[in-house]
């Protein structure tokens, strides 16, 4: 087991159960503690109960989306706990979506299918220097 993400708690949000489990398996293989959610509402509840070191979110979440999530997380951060880095992950990338995600408050944007090594490298880079990635 690689311990590159040891002592890091990552909240993964995706409304596809298989994707959640795949990301959990990959991240736990690198030593991360992974908590999951499948809706914006459940993700915000998890953030309040178990504040993660990083959020990894799909952009399309059933009746909501990653934009609503990052807006709520950034509002929560401002009011209560400081900055939580966040990475957008999507299988659907219309023109301008990456810039929109970064401008909304995500620190990085990855396209599915996500290469596990690239994912972990992006996570470690964002955690080391979140301001370098902040919009």
Look up the CATH number of the domain holding residue 36.
Answer: 3.40.50.2300
For the record, the structure tokens of 44 come out as: 């915000």
CA separation for the pair 119, 102 (Å, rounded): 17
Position of tokens 């995706």?
14
Q: Is residue 16 part of a domain?
A: yes
Q: How many CB atoms lie within 10 A of CB 7?
A: 9
Query: What's the pLDDT at 62?
Result: 74
Q: Is residue 135 part of a domain?
A: no
Q: Is residue 3 part of a domain?
A: no
Global confidence as pTM: 0.89
Q: Cα–chain-centroid distance for residue 6? A: 17
pLDDT digits (tens, 9 = 90+) for 43-65: 999 988 888 999 999 988 877 88
CA separation for the pair 26, 23 (Å, rounded): 5
Domain extent at residue 84? 9-128
Query: What's the pLDDT at 48?
Result: 85
- Phi, psi values for residue 86, rounded to 5°: -145, 140
- The total of structural domains in the chain comes to 1
């Amino acid at each position: 087991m690689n311990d590159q993400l040891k002592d890091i708690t990552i909240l993964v949000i995706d409304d596809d159960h298989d994707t959640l489990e795949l990301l959990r398996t990959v991240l736990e293989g690198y030593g991360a503690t992974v908590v999951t959610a499948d809706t914006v509402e459940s993700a915000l509840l998890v953030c309040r109960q178990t504040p993660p070191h990083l959020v990894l979110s799909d952009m399309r979440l059933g009746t909501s989306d990653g934009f609503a999530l990052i807006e709520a997380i950034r509002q929560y951060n401002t009011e209560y706990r400081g900055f939580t880095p966040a990475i957008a992950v999507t299988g659907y990338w219309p023109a301008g979506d990456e810039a929109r995600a970064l401008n909304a408050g995500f620190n990085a944007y990855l396209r599915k299918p996500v290469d596990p090594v690239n994912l972990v490298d992006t996570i470690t880079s964002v955690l080391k220097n979140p301001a370098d990635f902040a919009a």
